[in-house]
Amino acid sequence: MGCAGSQQQKPRSNQNIRTKDEGVGPTEPFGAQNGDEFRSCELSTVERPIRLASPGSLSRLEAQQNCRETSHRRRKASKISGKDNFYFSHCSVGGNGRSKSRGTYKLASQDTFADGEMTLTILSNSSSPQLLRIQPSERAQQGDGTWEWWYEQVEKLLVTKDCNSRTRLQDIPNRLTRQYDADKEHVELDLSWCFMERSAPYVLSRLLASPYLVEIRWVTALRLDGNYFTDDGFGSMLEVMSTVNETQLTLPLLRHLYLNNMNLDHHSLHGILFYLFPVDDACYPSVGLTSDSRAIAGRAFGKPPKAYLPFNSAPRIALFPSLTVLSLCDNPGIGNLGLIELLRCFLASHYEHRVLPVLDMSRCGIDEVGARCIREYIEKLPLAVEENRPVVTTQRIVLYGNRHSADRVVAAATDDSPYDTASVVG
């Protein structure tokens, strides 16, 4: 009994026993990792301590194995295909299973796999390789005349306070791009009926004259209908655009200009024509009244009001040189005085000959006196051609909706008697 008792072995502690089914690893010992040892897990009658694998050790083991297998597959694929490939060159893990060092992706080729020229270093939170998408960095342009600047001006309510209009104005780049992709010959910048503020012309001038916005240079039609500008604001807008236009054409492709229902008067029209059809400085009359072939209703074309000359400089290059349609509809303030200023401008001596195919002045408050002035323009136009003076000729003038009857217009056009011009002289 004593022998039997002495032969009984004490039960081994459960914390030092692990079976093969628990999947600790192979029977051969692994390399030591930070002091952790892995021994054979077979049960034996000989009692010896077995150090158990911690979860962190297993994670490190699996991570290194994945790195080796992935690197081997990529090397093999690179040699077979002969093309450049990315491979994960190094990965090490710490005690908590997370990456301690930096993993590096290298661009490898068939000839020089180990010494790739492009190396991208990343911080990795996992041991598995990560896919990278390389794109060139793009920085938004800053400063006046950029789209970021335009969005900022709209957000500051410097252009309009209307919510719907602000949404339209912020979408200008997208609308222009869509139109350009659909038809490059018809790109319209529609700024009509935006209920613009007094500061809007100062902002618009820098937008339209910006050298940074290629979308603006695509524009073939500009609409400003329904926006009321002061003479100071509109004059500053035209002056700024004209100054830039002297060195680089502003809106070089613009053919249609719509200024309908903008509460324009004859002073406004005078200032607009001053920049659209610049007159030679040497040809400005020194005396108000003149009887030469350039005069309409006893006066030749002169400089506009001071509001349209903020810098006191006259343009030499026409603003919008490709203009074919000028629409001034629904501006009853223009009236006969505005029509007379327009005809005077056409007969003045310009830097070059211009042809305006369509001039629309429907519902502009023109009566039979304006019709007589049109007749005078038609009579003096051949004289200007004989003098070899560069003038502006228009092929069609639209006068729908003006306050006169057809018979009075015909009578005014055929009346040879002199008429009193005192009521129409500005």
pLDDT exceeds 60 at position 78: no
Q: State how far the Cα of 341 lies from the Cα of 299, in Å rounded to an integer.
A: 9
Spell out the residues 6+ positions from residue 328 whose beta carbon is closer than 8 angstroms to its own.
259, 260, 264, 269, 334, 359, 360, 361, 364
Cβ pair 179, 189 in contact under 8 A: no
**CA–CA gap between residue 315 and residue 306 (Å, rounded):** 15
Q: Which two tokens stand for residue 187?
A: 């790109």
| Cβ within 8 Å of residue 29, ≥6 positions away | 37, 38, 39, 40
Task: Read off the DSSP letter of residue 355.
Answer: E
Is 205 within 8 Å of 247 (Cβ atoms)?
A: no
Is pLDDT above 60 for 176?
Answer: yes
pLDDT of 56 above 60:
no
**Overall average pLDDT of the 248-259 stretch:** 97
Residue 312 pLDDT more than 90?
no
Per-residue confidence (pLDDT) for residue 199, from 0 to 100? 97
Q: Could you tell me which residues are beta bridge partners of residue 188?
A: 221
What confidence tens digit (pLDDT) does each residue in 348-396 have? 999 999 999 999 999 999 999 999 999 999 999 999 888 888 999 999 9
Residue bearing the bigger pLDDT, 407 or 72: 72
Q: Is the pLDDT of residue 91 over 70?
A: no
**Beta strand pairing call for 221-223 and 188-190:** parallel
Tell me: pLDDT of 255 over 80: yes
Give the residue-averaged pLDDT of 306-331.
95
Go through the domains of the chain in sequence order and give each one's CATH number. Answer: 56-122 (no CATH), 147-414 (3.80.10.10)
Mean pLDDT for the chain overall:
76
Using the predicted structure, report yes or no on whether residue 175 has a pLDDT greater than 60: yes
Tokens 């004989």 belong to residue: 386
Q: Is 32 left (phi over 0), alpha (psi -120 to 50) or beta?
A: beta
User: What is the predicted pLDDT for the residue at 284?
Assistant: 62
Q: In the prediction, which pLDDT does 144 show?
A: 82
d(CA 145, CA 157): 17
Confidence at residue 273, expressed as pLDDT on a 0 to 100 scale: 97
Residue 330 and residue 226: Cα distance in Å, rounded? 10
Task: Check pLDDT > 70 for residue 192.
Answer: yes
Q: Give the pLDDT confidence of 106-147 residue by residue, as tens digits.
A: 444 444 444 444 444 444 455 555 555 555 444 455 678 899
E strands present in 187-262 = 188-190, 221-223, 256-258
Task: List % helix, strand, coil for the chain (3-state, nearest 5).
Answer: 35, 10, 50
Tens of pLDDT, residues 196-229: 999 999 999 999 999 999 999 999 999 999 999 9
Q: Which two tokens stand for residue 54?
A: 């911690």
User: According to the model, what pLDDT value does residue 259 have?
Assistant: 98
Cβ atoms 333, 266 nearer than 8 A: yes
pLDDT at 334: 97
The more confident residue out of 207 and 105 is 207
What is the model's pLDDT at position 105?
44
- Say whether pLDDT at 170 is over 60: yes
More confident residue, 105 or 294: 294
In this predicted model, what pLDDT tens digit does every residue of 3-48 receive, in sequence order?
A: 444 444 444 444 444 444 444 444 444 444 444 444 444 444 445 5
d(CA 257, CA 413): 29
pLDDT for 143 equals 74
Mean pLDDT over 73-95 rounds to 51
